[in-house]
Amino acid sequence: MFAAFNNYTDFSGRANRSEFWLFQLLNMIVIVFSFGIIFAGAGGASLEDYGHLGSASASFMGGAGLLVFWLLISFIPNMAVTVRRFHDHNISGWWYLGLAAVGLIPYIGFLASLATLWVLVRGGTWGPNNYGPDSVNPWRGNTTFA
């Protein structure tokens, strides 16, 4: 789960599916935990109570602070592991930037999101490619048996 933090500045090389998806699982765990803290203080409060609830605002600030902190420290590692995941398919990491930019366009962005998801879900290329040896089995694709 923490391999992306170990290679957070490494935009070269390849990342296999487990490295990418375990990091995304860690992201989801922290985000769900943050929202749990945010909504824990609001439990049982009515709408007119929100003007003077001290514990609800403290809970909100704690959860929101944790969420913002996590998003800030995981932004670059998330980009790096996604670029390395693109490299695992022998696709330049610049395609990730292009698909993210196209993702801002209404309707077409949905198709860009599907294309990105397709790259992230399927397995990488077998054997070495332009970005390094196979990330799952480095010996795969090697035809010399000495």
Q: What is the pLDDT along the chain (146 residues), one digit of tens a residue?
A: 777 777 778 888 888 888 899 999 999 999 999 888 888 766 655 555 555 555 557 777 788 888 999 999 999 999 999 999 999 999 999 999 999 999 999 999 999 999 999 999 998 888 888 888 887 776 665 555 44
**In the block, which residue shows the tokens 């397709």?**
118
129 has which bridge partners?
A: 132
* pLDDT at residue number 146: 43
* pLDDT at residue number 145: 45
Instruction: Encode 83-145 in three state secondary structure.
Output: HHHHHCCCCCCHHHHHHHHHCCCCCHHHHHHHHHHHHHHCCCCCCCECCECCCCCCCCCCCCC
In angstroms, the CA 5 to CA 26 distance is 11
Euclidean distance between the first and the last CA atom of the chain, given in angstroms as a whole number: 35
* pLDDT at residue number 97: 93
In angstroms, the CA 54 to CA 41 distance is 9
